[in-house]
Amino acid sequence: MTGTQDFDGLSALVTGGASGIGAAVATLLLARGARVAVLDLDPGGAPRGTLALAADVTDDDAVRDAVDRAAAELGGLHTLVSNAGIGSIGTVEDNSDEEWNRVLDVNVLGMVRTARHALPHLRGAAAGRPGAVSITQTCSIAATAGLPQRALYSASKGAVLSLTLAMAADHVREGIRVNCVNPGTADTPWIGRLLGRAEDPAAERAALDARQPMGRLVSADEVAAAVAYLASPAAASVTGTALAVDGGMQGLRLRPA
């Protein structure tokens, strides 16, 4: 319990909510009073107390069924957190068309499909709870940072950023707010998997920490707090915004020019 029950009476669906950032979001929304469903490829890790739904965001029918079930079992849908995503490493010379199609299918079209099926439910909820109905998408500082070895991943997150802004414009008059969070390097199982491939994972982790302006990674809970703010009634006037939770990675210039 956080003591703040600002999601009391609200229903939320979190995609990719069985691990990392999504699981932290689902846990926090639950603690703040929401009824929460998790849509995940592998829902075994969905936090206790959530409605766990198995679906692949690349499967339009499965997404529609899961979204409809969440709305039916939770009593409508006020909050969509579209967070499921996968990584990709390489330059444009490294990744095949097949790999591009796969990552864009999950990271971009996955959010399109989820929104498409959630919007009728969100629209239905907006009149009853003005300011409290929203979509928050997990983007990344990769959308705008120019990171090496992340051509495909960065392009996918650039698309998520543009999509967020366009959706915010399309649905503002319907009372549906649309924002995104841009995490820096966040300490989740995803990063654990990347480090696991290194020759010396502990040394690689120390080097990764040292490259961060704060000398440490961002935590999943810190990203979740930003998502919860954007989704909360306190952010009733916030739409079309990208909120960076990156320990200063993008904004700070620690060495003078």
Binding mask 94-133 for ligand NAD (x = CB under 6 A): ------------x---x-----------------------
> Residues 85, 134, 171, 177: which binds ligand NAD (CB under 6 A)?
85
Query: With binding defined as CB under 6 A, does residue 88 bind ligand NAD?
Result: no
Considering only the C-alpha atoms of the chain, give the largest distance between any 2 of them, rounded to a whole number of Å.
Answer: 56
| CA distances (Å), origin 112, targets 12, 103, 135, 196 | 17, 14, 11, 32
Whole-angstrom Cα distance, residue 151 to residue 143?
A: 10
Decide whether 19 or 239 has the Cβ nearer to ligand NAD: 19
Is residue 86 near ligand NAD by the rule CB under 6 A? yes
81 bridge partner residues: 14, 136
Stretch that binds ligand NAD, among 4-12, 36-44, 71-79, 201-209 (CB under 6 A): 36-44
CA count, 13 A, side-chain hemisphere, 36: 28
| 19 near ligand NAD, judged by CB under 6 A | yes
State the nearest-atom distance from the C-beta of 198 to ligand NAD, in Å.
15
**Per rule CB under 6 A, is residue 144 in the interface with ligand NAD?**
no
Contact positions vs ligand NAD (CB under 6 A): 16, 18-22, 40-42, 56-58, 83-86, 106, 110, 138, 140, 183, 185-186, 188-191
